[in-house]
Amino acid sequence: MDTLLTSMALIEWMAVWDDVGQNHYFWRRANGRWVRLGWDYDRVMQGFQAVQGIYFGEEGRDSVFGPNYFKDTFFTVWRTNYDQRLWELNNSFFDPTNLAALGFNIATAFAPDRRDYINSQLASFGTYYKPNRPANSYPPNGSSVITPTNLLTTAYSHPQSTAHAATQWEIRTASGDYEEPLLRVTSTNNKTSLPIPFDKLTYGQTYYWRATHIDSNGHPSVISAENKL
């Protein structure tokens, strides 16, 4: 159910419009449980779609080709959970600065107006507070590291002074990406400093790293700009 909530929130944020009788699949996972997968994402995240309804496809609401009865049932039964997930993603993963750091240029351009619209529809949740964006402070960007040392971020800060709960650290190879990074670890102990894991690195190779601060409400900061290592 957690996977489905995230999937549905992502699809509706993107303003998918033609997933009524087509352009989706139902996937029976290896664990025997089912999840709905979106498919065919052309002509989404266009400027005029920033105000597309967040329950698109539900019975009695605007849709293309009529209602989608799976979506209608989902929104009826899981609306509160879906609203919460969409609100969280709208203000964290889909933050325009975060999308820009991830290299999602089309989504970055779409995000400001889409974020404002969705927050207006989910105003009962109030303001989403998250940690301020960290920067990578050490080692200097592009420097060579030979002896044992730590990756360091700038100090944690938060607009509401909410406590720093954890930090997610990620390292990728020069030819790899963060979809399958060399290292991804979320630590409740190493919050602004992480020993460089030399046992996972190859001498003479180039790597990149970044970090995300997470507060005690589980809200992540915008991800730091990556540094070359």
pTM of the predicted model, to two decimals? 0.88
Q: Any idea where the domains of the chain sit in the sequence?
A: 2-125, 136-228
- Percent of the chain scoring above 70 in pLDDT: 100
Rounded to an integer, what distance in angstroms lies between the CA atom of residue 156 and that of residue 161? Answer: 10
Q: Is 13 exposed, middle or buried, given 0-12, 13-18 or 19+ CB atoms closer than 10 A?
A: buried
Rounded to an integer, what distance in angstroms lies between the CA atom of residue 133 and that of residue 130? Answer: 9
Please tell me the class of the 136-228 domain.
mainly beta
Alpha helices in the chain (DSSP H): 2-13, 69-91, 96-102, 105-121
Encode pLDDT of 125-176 as tens digits: 999 999 999 999 999 999 989 899 999 999 999 999 999 999 999 999 999 9
Measured in degrees and rounded to the nearest 5, phi and psi for residue 153 equal -110, 165
